[in-house]
Amino acid sequence: EAQVTQNPRYLITVTGKKLTVTCSQNMNHEYMSWYRQDPGLGLRQIYYSMNVEVTDKGDVPEGYKVSRKEKRNFPLILESPSPNQTSLYFCASSLVTGGALGYGYTFGSGTRLTVV
């Protein structure tokens, strides 16, 4: 089954304790992205990657890191989480055609992160 797998689904952590949220896709998609979703704000892009070793900042990258060492994996790293990073996080992937995103995204099931 074609899918994007995120782990963990739920995470409660304390301020300053480094954490990693994993994301893996089995569709051979070039493009992968991380979003956070907060009430009333919709989905905001954190980082995206157009291919292996190619990443770029989205709209809200502060406090986050990513890496893309393999095509299928795109982990999100919070080096020193803070309470304002409490949110619902989604990983997504997409095909790239003609140098652009012409197709829709496939999203992971989401990670609900609480930082206390």
Binding residues (CB under 8 A) for other proteins: these are 31, 33, 35, 40-45, 48, 50, 56, 88, 90, 96, 99-110, 112
Give the number of residues written for the chain.
116
Given the complex with other proteins, which of 18 and 60 has the nearer CB atom?
60
Amino acid at 26: N
| Neighbour-count burial for 21-56, b at 16+ CB within 10 Å, e otherwise | bebbbeeebbbbbbbbeeeeeebebbbbbbeeeebe
Judge whether 113 and 87 are in contact, CB under 8 Å. Answer: yes
Least distance (Å) between residue 76 CB and other proteins = 15
Least distance (Å) between residue 90 CB and other proteins = 6
Given the complex with other proteins, which of 48 and 64 has the nearer CB atom?
48
Given the complex with other proteins, which of 14 and 41 has the nearer CB atom?
41
